Amino acid sequence: MTKEQYVEKMKHHEEEFDKMWDLIVEDTNVFVKDNPSIGMYSFSNNVEKFVDNLCLSGAWIHDRIENVIGFPGMKTYKRSLSKKIRKALGYTL
């Protein structure tokens, strides 16, 4: 795949993601409006995992393009964006 082909595919994925993101924002805003006293830390299930995976997915794409393996125990993990995101999310590795 050429760089141009990859960029075009990513543009298409971004358009699709933007549609999904609008739904996520709408659902989240309705939930917060209906449940103002419930915070993120009350979720230790699919919602929290989904949110973490959104963050880590972007880091994975960045690391992969930079040829960095962002997985604990790998030689390039120390300089990976995945490590920084994992730390920000509260993971210990």
Q: Residues 46-79: pLDDT tens digits?
A: 888 888 899 999 999 999 999 898 777 888 888 8
Task: Say how far apart CA 70 and CA 12 lie, in whole Å.
Answer: 25
Rounded (5°) CA angle 37-41-85: 135
Provide the domain count of the chain: 2
**Verdict on whether the full-model pTM lies above 0.85:** no
Both 48 and 83 in one domain: the answer is: yes
Both 47 and 34 in one domain: the answer is: no
Both 24 and 69 in one domain: the answer is: no
Both 59 and 87 in one domain: the answer is: yes
Task: Say how far apart CA 18 and CA 47 lie, in whole Å.
Answer: 19
Both 53 and 30 in one domain: the answer is: no
Closest Cα to residue 55, out of 20, 8, 87? 87
Both 34 and 48 in one domain: the answer is: no
> pLDDT tens across 30-50, in order?
998 998 888 777 776 788 888
pLDDT at 83 over 70: yes
Q: Which domain holds residue 83?
A: 43-93
Task: Say how far apart CA 85 and CA 34 lie, in whole Å.
Answer: 30
